[in-house]
Amino acid sequence: MPQTIFVVEDDKHINEVVTEYMKDAGYMVRSSGHGGDALRMIRQNTSIDLFILDIMLPEISGLDLLKAVREMDEHREKPVVMLTALSDEATQLMSFDEMADDYVTKPFSPKVLVKRVQALLRRSGDEGKTLQYGDIVLSYDSFQVLEAGEKVKLTLREFELLGALMQNAGKVLGRQKLLDYAWSYDYFGDERVVDVHIKNLRKKLKSNVIATIKGVGYRFGEE
């Protein structure tokens, strides 16, 4: 079942653009242009997976909506993206103090917003997850990798790449797909940076479990 995004934005054009891009990315979307109406909808709907909130809204501000979300048992752990024309440091800090997960200022790229949403939902779903393959154990909870009981010291990118490969064990993942997992929305350089990190991962892991599929990408797991 598709995940549900709730878009609260009073600019009709922006609301429609964000809604369409999220739908094209495979999400179900609920939307509102009014803070008070949005709060009532949030209280009635427990199946929202991520919130995109404008700050300047009629009746109830996006920051007050964020506070309300964090006080609801069914929503307090859900990712929240603040979408606003307010780019001053004080407003951004206030948003993060109220436990916003991300802050996007207008004007923005809808494609980049989709990437941010995908990254937040993936990380939200990974919390508490432990992956194991043979002697290798990866824990998202403790951000730790063990091999045969010994800790393997990995960088953030190496950890994310290994997690992506383990979650898709047996499948071939291309460089761009691995970039999407490990760099999310904020990397626009050479895809071959993945090769360097894979090389380092192989050096740190005793098991020979990362295969190169020439011209395609990489696969985790033995033949």
The answer on 97 and 173 residing in a single domain is no
The answer on 9 and 117 residing in a single domain is yes
- 190: pLDDT strictly greater than 70: no
Structure tokens at 98: 């109220």
- Residue 88 placed within a domain: yes
pLDDT value of residue 115:
86
- Residue 201 placed within a domain: yes
- Residue 102 placed within a domain: yes
How much is the mean pLDDT over the chain? 87
The answer on 192 and 103 residing in a single domain is no
Give the separation between CA 215 and CA 217, rounded to whole angstroms: 6
The answer on 103 and 186 residing in a single domain is no
Angle value at C-alpha 173, between 220 and 159, nearest 5 degrees = 60
- For the ranges 2-16, 24-38, 138-152, which has the lowest average pLDDT? 138-152
With bands split at pLDDT 50, 70 and 90, how would you rate the model's confidence at 126?
A: low
CATH code where residue 101 lies: 3.40.50.2300
At 158-167, the pLDDT tens digits run 888 999 899 8
At 111-122, the pLDDT tens digits run 989 988 988 887
Contact status, residue 12 vs residue 33, Cβ threshold 8 Å? yes
The parent domain of residue 180 ranges over 154-220
Q: What distance separates the 2 farthest-apart alpha carbons in the chain?
A: 60
- 128: pLDDT strictly greater than 70: no
At 38-84, the pLDDT tens digits run 999 999 988 899 999 999 999 999 999 999 999 998 898 888 999 88
- φ/ψ of residue 210, rounded to 5: -115, 110
The answer on 15 and 84 residing in a single domain is yes
pLDDT value of residue 125:
66
Helix/strand/coil percentages in the chain, nearest 5: 40, 20, 35
The answer on 83 and 37 residing in a single domain is yes
CATH code where residue 202 lies: 1.10.10.10
**Mean pLDDT across 203-222:** 91
- Residue 142 placed within a domain: no
The answer on 82 and 162 residing in a single domain is no
- For the ranges 3-7, 67-71, 142-146, 200-204, which has the lowest average pLDDT? 142-146
Contact status, residue 152 vs residue 146, Cβ threshold 8 Å? yes
With bands split at pLDDT 50, 70 and 90, how would you rate the model's confidence at 194?
A: confident
The answer on 79 and 38 residing in a single domain is yes
Residue 112: is it exposed, middle or buried by C-beta count within 10 angstroms (0-12/13-18/19+)? middle
The total number of structural domains in the chain stands at 2
